Chain A
Amino acid sequence: GQQLNQSPQSMFIQEGEDVSMNCTSSSIFNTWLWYKQDPGEGPVLLIALYKAGELTSNGRLTAQFGITRKDSFLNISASIPSDVGIYFCAGQLSYKLSFGAGTTVTVRA
């Protein structure tokens, strides 16, 4: 698969704080996806972005598909303890997904 650069690698934040993470790629994707994975489980889709420039929200989550189609960010507002987990970005071309390395979020109550 193609390489996606996801940052930060990990975050340790206070409950109530906002969280930001992003992904960049040297290649263009048609779709950007954000997934959350809890230990021992499969990834769960959070947000899907289909158009360059698209800004989409899902509750406290907001994500954007970059204009160049080579990047995307995810914001989590007012973090709560259940936001703990690993967040993955994924770029899709045709049906194939390429995943970022993941951002591990730890929330301190």
Chain B
Amino acid sequence: GAVVSQHPSRVICKSGTSVKIECRSLDFQATTMFWYRQFPKQSLMLMATSNEGSKATYEQGVEKDKFLINHASLTLSTLTVTSAHPEDSSFYICSAIRQNSNQPQHFGDGTRLSIL
């Protein structure tokens, strides 16, 4: 089945550090990947849509200079949280859609980001 791998699973770092999170589709090619953010006891909120070979589309209120997205290949998208601050601490989850299919999104296991 469709498997999405996310790395790292947990990051703890100091304020001001930039953190990169990787999302890989392991057994399929994904033209489109998505990045979500989830606060404790809340639902998933879409941050941006990542398209291979083009600029990401950000949802309203999401700072594109703060959350840099790169989708350089059909199996890898990265999210970089630049100059992270404590308020950026959250659970970040990616998902991917198999290329040329109507299959639903498959999610990674998430990255717990804690900024001290």
Query: Contact between A42 and B49 (Cβ–Cβ < 8 Å)?
Result: no
Question: Is B27 close to A, CB under 8 A?
Answer: no
Binds A, one of B12-20, B40-48, B69-77, B78-86: B40-48
Minimum Cβ distance to chain A for residue B28 (Å): 14
Q: Which bracket fits the contact residues of B?
A: 20 to 34
The verdict on A96 contacting B44 (CB below 8 Å), with A41-B109, A42-B109, A45-B104 known, is no
Minimum Cβ distance to chain B for residue A18 (Å): 24
Query: Contact between B105 and A97 (Cβ–Cβ < 8 Å)?
Result: yes
Query: Contact between A102 and B104 (Cβ–Cβ < 8 Å)?
Result: no
Q: Which residues of B have CB within 8 Å of A44?
A: 107
Query: Contact between B104 and A92 (Cβ–Cβ < 8 Å)?
Result: yes
Minimum Cβ distance to chain A for residue B58 (Å): 13
Query: Contact between B104 and A31 (Cβ–Cβ < 8 Å)?
Result: yes
Question: Is B106 close to A, CB under 8 A?
Answer: yes
Query: Contact between A95 and B97 (Cβ–Cβ < 8 Å)?
Result: yes
Minimum Cβ distance to chain B for residue A63 (Å): 13
Query: Contact between A42 and B93 (Cβ–Cβ < 8 Å)?
Result: yes
Minimum Cβ distance to chain A for residue B114 (Å): 13
Among A31, A88, A97, chain B packs the most CB atoms within 10 A around the CB of A97
Query: Contact between B59 and A1 (Cβ–Cβ < 8 Å)?
Result: yes
Cα–Cα distance between A88 and B4 once the two chains are bound (Å): 19
Query: Contact between B49 and A43 (Cβ–Cβ < 8 Å)?
Result: no
Q: Which 3 A/B pairs are nearest by Cβ-Cβ distance?
A: A42-B107, A99-B43, A42-B109
Interface residues of A (CB under 8 A from B): 1, 31, 33, 35, 40-45, 48, 50, 88, 92, 95-97, 99-102
Show 27 A/B contacts (Cβ-Cβ < 8 Å), sorted by A. A1-B45, A31-B104, A33-B105, A40-B110, A40-B112, A41-B110, A42-B4, A42-B6, A42-B95, A43-B44, A43-B107, A45-B104, A45-B106, A50-B102, A88-B43, A92-B104, A95-B32, A95-B34, A95-B97, A95-B105, A96-B49, A97-B34, A97-B105, A99-B43, A99-B45, A101-B42, A102-B42
